[in-house]
Amino acid sequence: MTQLIDFSAALIEPAEIKAAGYAGVVGYFSESRPGTNFGAKPLRRDYCDRLRAEGLEIVTNYQYGKGETADWRGGYDGGARHAEIALRYHFEAGGPGYRPLYAPVDDNPTLDEWNSLIAPFLRGWASVVGPEWTGVYCNARCIDWALEDGVGQWFWQHNWSGDPSINGDHPAAHMHQIEIDRREISGVGIDVDQVLKPDYGQWSAAREPSTPTSPISREDDQTGISPNTSSRGGAPVLWFLLHTQEGNGDAQSLANYLQNPNSGVSYHYTDDNTGTVIDVVDTDLASWSVLNGNPRSINFCFAGSRAAWSRDQWFELMQRGIDCAAWIAVQDCRKYGLPIRTISPEELGRDERGIADHNAYTIGKHDGTHTDVGPNFPWDYLNDKLAEYGGTG
């Protein structure tokens, strides 16, 4: 049973932490808020070096405000600002890359607070550290909400929930704070944290992901030619959507059609099975692809494809095209803070973020009649490529 401790009042000698039987610390990489003087905020390089010299693990956590001054009350902009501070202290202390930074939700918030402030706060946090490295310190209910909204991938659970029945180990939690201010080491109060997964964000587990090879042989930026575009009007990008052409052609011939003002349609990208991708519409603008969903979507069309294809036909005629779509999807998910995951029509209907197709939009939003990319599209293969290119495989 591996346990860590977290503390903020003062530094504790690493040898004493080890002697007490703990495997490491969840450290604060944040300043003391006004009116306080926490001796262990932020942890500095010399102390972290001494922790590691004793063989102790370190996990990066951040919390500046509390209660009425809680960090999450700053919404998206606050999340980005606090994440920049956390990342700076993390690296100054010798923290490695490719590790989560846990953002603070040290509260028992309402759903309205979650939707209006906390989810935007976490998206702002992710815009700095990356969605794949966004950790959240929160209760079990908030873990569920974070998973639904795709705004966290690492979770440090606390029990401030108002409902003891949900305070058991959440299956998605990496750590669980099971005890608060009941013990001391050398006169310093500590909290006890149970480790629940082999990789819970400890610095020692950092591994630089292998660099995947792009399947794209040629990407041609032709944005600015097609007049079939609109402003997003301030709407956030929620979805990366896939489409079929329902005709014969290649990436360039389809792009030519989309650049015709009389066509009345456009996509952000076209591709084919040769590894060619044409950038047709700037992703900061809306393409004309999914009716009322245009302002909130990025749209990618497989040239020469049909929704009636069998699974075998998708692999025979468009496997490399799927590879290219996965590669582009990963890049745009990172650019716009989307989780790198496919979502169901029901999830899309709830405005959850992710990767889907025109059919999911039709069903989820009850808007239009399109069913592409069809029932036989190999989503399992796409998911494998997303994991490979996104570094989560």
Over 70: is that where the pLDDT of 26 sits? yes
pLDDT 10s digits, 190-224: 999 999 999 999 999 998 777 789 999 999 999 99
Residue 350's CB is within 10 A of a number of other CB atoms, namely: 12
The verdict on 240 and 293 lying in the same domain is: yes
The verdict on 53 and 87 lying in the same domain is: yes
Over 60: is that where the pLDDT of 305 sits? yes
Whether 26 and 193 have beta carbons less than 8 Å apart is answered as yes
Q: What is the DSSP code (8-state) at residue 279?
A: E
Q: How many whole angstroms separate alpha carbon 61 and alpha carbon 84?
A: 13
Q: How many whole angstroms separate alpha carbon 330 and alpha carbon 345?
A: 20
Q: What is the pLDDT of residue 36?
A: 86
The verdict on 27 and 123 lying in the same domain is: yes
State how many domains the chain has: 2
Percent of the chain residues topping a pLDDT of 90 = 92
pLDDT 10s digits, 105-142: 999 999 999 999 999 999 999 989 988 899 999 999 99
Give residue 296's pLDDT band: very low, low, confident or very high (50, 70, 90). very high
Cis peptide before 42 (omega within 30 of 0): yes
Specify if 213 maps to a domain.
Answer: no
Q: What is the pLDDT of residue 120?
A: 96
Q: Could you give the 3-state DSSP secondary structure of residue 19?
A: helix
The verdict on 119 and 253 lying in the same domain is: no
The verdict on 225 and 181 lying in the same domain is: no
Over 70: is that where the pLDDT of 393 sits? no
Whether 220 and 328 have beta carbons less than 8 Å apart is answered as no
Q: What is the pLDDT of residue 207?
A: 82
The verdict on 261 and 300 lying in the same domain is: yes
The verdict on 383 and 246 lying in the same domain is: yes
Q: How many whole angstroms separate alpha carbon 63 and alpha carbon 133?
A: 17
Task: Identify the weakest region by mean pLDDT among 151-160, 172-181, 201-210, 216-225.
Answer: 201-210
Q: Could you give the 3-state DSSP secondary structure of residue 118?
A: helix
pTM for this predicted structure: 0.61
The verdict on 173 and 290 lying in the same domain is: no
Any idea what the CATH number is for the domain that residue 285 is in?
A: 3.40.80.10
Q: What is the pLDDT of residue 392?
A: 58
pLDDT 10s digits, 63-97: 999 999 999 999 999 999 999 999 999 999 999 99
Q: Which residues pair with 300 in a beta bridge?
A: 242, 269
Percent of the chain residues topping a pLDDT of 70 = 99
Q: What average pLDDT does range 358-368 have in this prediction? A: 98
Whether 250 and 276 have beta carbons less than 8 Å apart is answered as yes
Angle between helices 311-336 and 379-390 (to 10 degrees): 40
Over 90: is that where the pLDDT of 382 sits? yes
Backbone angles phi, psi at 38, to 5 degrees: -80, 125
User: Mean pLDDT score of the chain, rounded to an integer?
Assistant: 96
Residue 316 is part of which domain span? 218-390
Cα-Cα-Cα-Cα dihedral sign, residues 356, 357, 362, 368: positive
Residue 199, CA atoms < 13 Å, CB-side half-sphere: 12
| Contact partners, residue 104, CB within 8 Å, separation at least 6 | 61, 62, 63, 64, 70, 71, 72, 137
Cis peptide before 198 (omega within 30 of 0): no
Q: Which residues pair with 244 in a beta bridge?
A: 302
Q: How many whole angstroms separate alpha carbon 129 and alpha carbon 135?
A: 10
Specify if 157 maps to a domain.
Answer: yes
Give the residue from 35, 54, 36, 42 showing the smallest Cα distance to 11: 42
Q: What is the pLDDT of residue 131?
A: 86
pLDDT 10s digits, 320-351: 999 999 999 999 999 998 889 999 999 999 99
Backbone angles phi, psi at 6, to 5 degrees: -130, 150
Over 60: is that where the pLDDT of 162 sits? yes
- In this structure, the chain runs to a length of 393
Over 90: is that where the pLDDT of 33 sits? no
